[in-house]
Chains A and B, each alone.
Chain A
Amino acid sequence: MTNPNAIDPDLMQFALDQATTQDSDIEYADVKWMRRSSRSIGVKNGSVEQNTQQNTEGIGIKILYGGAYGFAATNIMTKDAIGIAAKRALRVAKASATTMRNPIQLAEEPVHVDTVATPMKIDPDDVDLAETIAVLVDASKAADIGDDRIKARSASYDHWKDHMVLWTSEGSRIDQLISVVGGAVDTLSVQGTETQRRSYPASFRGDFSTAGYEYFKDMELVENAPIAAQESVDLLEAEQCPEQNDATVIIRPAQLMLQLHENFHGAELDRALDYEAAFAGTSFLKPHLLGELQFGSELININTDATHPGGLGTFFYDHEGVKAQNQPMVKNGKFVGYMTSRETAPLMGLERSNGTARSSAYDRMPLIRMTNTILQPGDYDYQEMIEETKDGFIFDTNVSWSIDDLRLSFQFGTEIGWRIKDGEITNLVKNPSYTGITPQFWNSADAVADKNDFRMYGTPNCGKGEPGQVMYTGHGSSSVRFRDVRIGVVQL
């Protein structure tokens, strides 16, 4: 059984045969067919300014020869072109093999034969374009609250489907269809040379989930647009976030998601082993720190979980054919696990990959990518967290980010903040920013809100690899209170 419109199995068999039979010293091969179909709609100030679709389809062939990988891809779906790609993949592997000092050895993985798909209530491909455009136009209009300082009222919708068929020389036959839907409103307000932006439900094109169209419908963009608009205007008049070296800050999930994202790039094992030194960076989470480093306070428990329902980083099998898993990376504050692949797991003495290798398209090799990075909820009621804070701030919704290549020294800006005095929220704060060193920061966490405050968010645009790949990853958390944080770094 296959998902609808999958590639002809005869062509897959042909490709795999071409890959495996051209040289008897080939150690492993896989053939990955992927089709990505996506739609993006953008409305600004009531006009549709973006109405595009993108369709990519092709085959990538990966060969392991002489302990080295070679990869070639084509979107010309003829046997001639596929045969040429198979030959080039071997040629590439042979060229790579001339440089190998430590031949690649793959971790074992059981054979899987499976057909899977994201559960959906409403298939986004069945939804009339006019219906979605109408929601976005209405949201853009609803953000017009009659204040001419609002220069841009934007609403957006995106969905894509990634359909992968992966056949390996070991016998795995996986057919996987992932559906993603997302959307947002955001408003830009201007007064003189000052600008303020406010987004809902999250920034940079919003929030995303592996789901059907129901996820977009449930966002209630039209209802929330005027709130975002009013906040963007209010921020123009708000108090500037002060400079302070020892602030107490409650960080909300729509910012904490990016904190988790940026910090936990350090737990990608390829980075820790210097495989990404020249591009994505390395990691301070060196192998000798595994099981030793107190990454955060004892309240902090963080997993890499590719099985979390609806997470943007949720799937069934990674692109090496490894089944999706849920594993701890930080347990009671201690650093206990990496994200791994079939190539990197053996380098840490692990018997099995924990299945985090994905590729963005047919013409990309899988790399270790975040799945869903989830901070487990604590036991604090969020309101109580505020009430017992004598003097502090709340920061929400990311607006800027920067972190060093070791994933240690970071600086973030958020769209909005609020001041807390004697347990009460007193006023808005604009241009919030904060900086820190990752383990110091997480060790200062003294309260984690409970599951009532828990929220999943997705970032659709995490970049890694050369040639570049953009991957979608999920993050979940409740609000967390941190002490002794340096804030107000950006003063304008």
Chain B
Amino acid sequence: MSNYDPKTAINQEEHGNPFETLQEGIDYLMQQAKAKQYQAQVNAISTISGTTRFAVNQVTQHTDLNNISFQLKLIKGKQQASASSTQLGEIGYKALFEQVESNLLKSPEIPFLQGLPQPRAGSNADLTGKDWIMEDRAEAIVSAVNTAEEMTDEIRLAGTASANTTYYRVVSTEGIDVQTSSNYNYFKVNAITGPADGRGYGQEELYWRFDQPDIESMAEEATQTAIDTVESKLLTKDAGDYEVVLGPQAVSDLMVYIMFGADAVGFHESNSYTSDRLGDQIFDDKLTIRDMPRDPHEAIAARTFDAEGIATKNRDFYENGVLKFIPYSSFFASKYLDDKDGATGHVIGPEFGWYGGGAMPVSSSITPGDRTTEEQLAEVEDGLYVKNFWYNRFTKRREGGLTGLTRNGLYHVKDGEIQGAVRNLRYTESFVKAFGQGNIISISSDRRKFFMSHVPSIHLENYHFSSVAHTKQQLE
């Protein structure tokens, strides 16, 4: 058992001490529940974040948040109700308990409900990193803008620098009493240049925990992409199927849907790309996706216990393209597996900013490959290099079908050389097909971290683009 104390993630000198308040709330709610012989689960949460947004080369919004909240779930036999509240003090806790109790007693029985999960052995791990304070974030923004302005006068930078810390403790009448904490930081820089009716865009973003990234290099890369992609320089490629290298930002965009689309409800309702396919080869055998919530070096959305207090595990989500598990909460494990303890420890916690209770693997890490992104590009015969996607949405969940657009850098590559930037394209493609057997040529060794994934570049035989996003003529 690790000696790490998750409470140390909160910089109390900077942000105050939430732990007395959290303990008060837990004590009150559990006492009330036990007195009435309900099953109860209390989540006591402290979230601290500082977000500095900038646009047109200056800070536009700068917020500093420090919140304490509670979630209470009560179960009586086959009845269940829950609520969350940020109202503190005995008045607030009393109101929360009475509200949930009232809903509980009026709720019909849920036939498959089996109650709260049992505790499982699990240890804490140190998931903390640097606390990026507001003055340092402002300084980073100034250095990014200065870097960009050295490259070109007519540059408009926008982006975000943020620091986020989440601590939560889960206590239940079934013997669960666990706590977890993590912090992470984020930097994104978006560059725009060129005339009003033909601007170029570039963007670089990443999440980090330990070492501040090279902000100036990120600004330089984003600015260069913007310079490359002004309207007057763009080549036009027709819609169609192309060999592509998807950069890490583009891969992370698709990973969001690979994860969101793998939920238990969709699986059992035949409305997921995973339906009837557990244990099947869904993706190319070059693709191994690990779920790594306990490794702060592999995952940003890291936690040692999920929002039900179940210990998380590092495990394969896809091993050589084969689907290894479906994520369950205890509620849906009761419904679909007839066993509440089939819960897998994937219920989303407050670090996501909502209390939906959904279960999904959000700490994904694609195993690196054997060549760099530059080497991959050198191997492209005639295709496209996609830096990132924009506004991706499911068209058909059952097929893994998505649509979206390229943005912030699309390049034509021929015989291993970048020929120039290309007008943005819309894709309509299934990620099952895109990452399917035989379609992955290579996976890069270099990777980048995003909130829910740690991903490389991926070189694909084929990716379908359904239309040109727009041309200047279409506006006239």
Contact = CB atoms under 8 A, between A and B. Distances in A.
Interface stretch (A229-237, A377-385, A405-413, A447-455): A405-413
A1 interface: no
B403 A411 contact: yes
17 contacts: A48-B110, A51-B107, A52-B84, A53-B100, A55-B87, A69-B62, A88-B64, A99-B54, A99-B59, A101-B58, A133-B106, A151-B269, A190-B270, A274-B156, A277-B190, A365-B61, A435-B467
Contacts of A486: 467
B401 A492 contact: yes
B85 interface: yes
A431 B428 CA distance: 14
Contact of A409 (B58, B83, B405): B405
A345 to B, nearest CB: 15
Given A55-B86, A133-B106, A489-B467, A404 B65 contact: no
A314 interface: no
A223 B363 CA distance: 44
Contacts of B53: 278-279, 466
Contacts of B434: none
A173 to B, nearest CB: 23
Given A129-B103, A400-B403, A402-B404, A55 B83 contact: yes
Contacts of B256: none
Given A404-B390, A405-B391, A409-B426, A102 B58 contact: yes
A466 B51 CA distance: 7
A84 interface: yes
B197 A286 contact: yes
B135 A413 contact: no
B159 interface: yes
A120 interface: no
Nearest to B407: A405
A267 to B, nearest CB: 16
Nearest to B85: A55
Interface string B115-156: 000000000000000000011011101100100000000001
Interface string A401-428: 1111110110101000000000000000
Interface residues of A, number: 88
Contact of B162 (A68, A77, A466): A466
B421 interface: no
A133 B100 CA distance: 15
Contact of A100 (B58, B271, B353, B399): B58
Interface residues of B, number: 96
A28 interface: no
Interface in A51-100: 51-58, 68-77, 81, 84-85, 88-89, 91-93, 95-96, 98-100
Q: Name the residue in A71, A274, A279 with the highest tally of chain B Cβ atoms < 10 Å from its Cβ.
A: A274
A68 B62 CA distance: 9
Interface string A127-152: 01110010001000000000000011
Contacts of B197: 286
B59 A133 contact: no
Contacts of A278: 53, 55, 158-160, 188-190, 203
A215 to B, nearest CB: 21
A276 B55 contact: yes
Interface of B: 16, 21, 49-69, 80-89, 95-96, 99-100, 102-103, 106-108, 110-112, 134-135, 137-139, 141-142, 145, 156, 158-160, 162, 188-190, 192, 196-197, 201, 203, 269-271, 331, 353, 355, 390-399, 401, 403-405, 407, 424, 426, 428, 466-467, 469-470, 474-475
Q: Is the interface of A mostly helix, strand, loop or mixed?
A: mixed
A402 B403 CA distance: 7
Contact of B110 (A47, A81, A364): A47
A325 to B, nearest CB: 24
Nearest to A364: B63
B58 A413 contact: no
Contacts of B190: 277-278
B82 A52 contact: yes
Contacts of B407: 404-405
Nearest to A73: B65
A452 to B, nearest CB: 33
A71 B64 contact: yes
Contacts of B69: 56, 75
B465 to A, nearest CB: 12
B51 A467 contact: yes
Contacts of B64: 70-73, 88-89, 91-92
Given A48-B110, A92-B62, A490-B396, A99 B138 contact: yes
Contacts of A88: 64
Given A54-B84, A409-B426, A363 B196 contact: no
Q: Name the residue in A76, A408, A413 with the highest tally of chain B Cβ atoms < 10 Å from its Cβ.
A: A76
A49 interface: yes
A486 B52 CA distance: 41
Nearest to B466: A489
B58 A99 contact: yes
Contacts of B467: 409, 411, 435, 486, 489
Contacts of B201: 277, 405
Contact of A48 (B100, B107, B138, B405): B107
A409 B470 contact: yes
A85 B67 CA distance: 11
